[in-house]
Amino acid sequence: MVTAKEVPADALIRRLSEYLKENVRELRPPLWTPFVKLGVHKENSPGDQDWWYMRAASILRKLAVSEEPVGLNTFSVVYGGLKRRGSAPPHFRRASRNHVRKILQQLERAGLVTRTPRGRVLSPKGQSLLSSIAHEVFAELVRERPELSKYGA
């Protein structure tokens, strides 16, 4: 069986974000999403209008790949980056935690993520969703390149 670890991350996140946008009613961006920056290290707001769904799909993939519960601070480090300071050397800054918190709360309401004392993990419903979408992505890759069929289902 193909898992989320075995398919390209960009293809999986793209397909998963499309699924989340069309099928998960609990996952809706708030009204402030067109105006927000994702951290102090960013200059502008995201250019993609569907960045909320892409970030939610990325969070789900990170939870699937990690082998232990992941907390909010870990996500802020993962999505952080270097703040450019002109001629001074750049320094690492964490990403904003508000949008990550809201996405995690919405994914919990949808039943895709569960909370543990040490962080959040994928629920069985979330694991099956990621496995099925990973299988679809892998089948599409095999159709494009038949030599990949020896690696999976």
Give Cα separations from 125 to 33, 111, 116, 132 (angstroms). Answer: 27, 7, 16, 11
Cβ atoms within 10 Å, residue 133 = 24
* Res 153: pLDDT: 57
Number of domains in the chain: 1
Which residues constitute the domain of residue 41?
A: 4-151
* Res 147: pLDDT: 77
DSSP 65-112: H-SS-B-HHHHHHHT-EEEEETTEEEEEEPBPSHHHHHHHHHHHHHTS
| pTM as predicted | 0.92
* Res 150: pLDDT: 73
pLDDT per position as a tens digit, 70-82 = 999 999 999 999 9
- Low pLDDT (below 50) residues in the chain: none
Please name the amino acid found at residue 110.
Answer: A
* Res 145: pLDDT: 81
CATH number of domain containing 77 = 1.10.10.10
* Res 152: pLDDT: 63
Both structure tokens of 15: 């397909």
